[in-house]
Amino acid sequence: MREAIRLGEYANYEEYTFCRRMADVYGCIPLQTNGDNLYKFLSTLYHYGKVQGIRQERARKQRRQKVNHEVEEIAWELAGNPLLYQVMKTAAGLNSVEPLIQAANFLKGAKKNED
């Protein structure tokens, strides 16, 4: 929330106008004589949405990087073990995901035992 408040202080004219128009569309009228407070508040909410979107995108990138790293580890292990490669290939060709999960768990367990 602090980030949104800080970003709200740097709102440009377009963002301010957007918030003002949204307030007009929904019939929002400032209760106090200083109507800028309402628009600053709406601008802060607007920036809060931006901050949340950025955080969600960062989390997605981190998840993708983790999955990519795991896939690289599995590919490395499969390259050195042709039998396991055939098992994984067969499991991937099946319509069920369960054999693939079991084979991946087996691979992870075998890797832990080597360490």
pTM: predicted TM-score of the whole model, two decimal places: 0.49
Q: Which pLDDT score is estimated for 35? A: 74
- CB-CB contact of 75 with 32 (8 Å): no
Residue 111: which pLDDT band, with cuts at 50, 70 and 90? low
| CB contact set of 7 (below 8 Å; sequence gap of 6+) | 44, 47, 50, 51
Q: Which pLDDT score is estimated for 95? A: 65
The H or E element that residue 89 is part of is helix 82-93
pLDDT at 99 over 90: no
Higher-pLDDT residue of 75 and 60 is: 60
Domain boundaries, the chain: 1-62
3-state helix, strand, coil in the chain (%, to 5): 80, 0, 20
Which tokens hold the place of 37? Answer: 């407070």
